[in-house]
Amino acid sequence: MTQADRGPGGRDYKESDPFYHRAAWKRLRAAALQRDQGMCQECMRRLRAGYGIRPRRATMVHHIEPVSERPDLALRLDNLVSLCDECHNRMHPEKGAREKAEKVKTRNRMRVIKV
């Protein structure tokens, strides 16, 4: 990867799929966010189940059935769910989000207090 392929700070970025830049996707994404009233549906599910605290605003729209497995459902509103970043990352453990979250959680739990 060349320096031109890197983002700020020299971090590597995956090239985005052209599908997500199409007008049809952008319209459907907006419709999903509107249908879900801009709220993360996973946070709402957890809240209704009694173990969520406060639902967050949705920033992502997630394909329930992945486009790679079911391209025929890519532009179906009933195959989309609005999620916050944290819940969306939980839906994709293959991208390493869970490992990062576990490291942060562990780091935040252990504190040394000098007296």
Report the alpha-carbon distance of residue 17 to residue 37 in Å, rounded.
26
Q: Please provide the DSSP assignment of 85-108 as one string.
A: HHHHHHH-GGGTHHHHHHHHHHHH
Q: Where are the domains of the chain?
A: 16-104
pTM above 0.75, yes or no: no
pLDDT the model gives residue 96: 59
State the pLDDT at residue 70. 96
On whether the CB atoms of residues 57 and 82 are closer than 8 A, the answer is no
Residue 24 or residue 100, greater confidence = 24
Measure Cα distances from 53 to 27, 99, 102 in Å: 31, 23, 19
3-state class of 17 per DSSP? coil
The whole-number pLDDT of residue 15 equals 76
Q: How confident is the model at residue 49 (pLDDT cuts 50, 70, 90)?
A: very high
**Residues 17-39: tens digit of each pLDDT:** 899 999 999 999 999 999 999 99
Average pLDDT value over all residues in the chain: 82
The answer to whether the beta carbons of residues 39 and 60 sit under 8 Å apart is no
Question: Could you give the percent of the chain with pLDDT greater than 70?
Answer: 70
CA distance 80 to 63: 5
pLDDT in tens, 52-81: 889 999 999 999 999 999 999 999 999 999
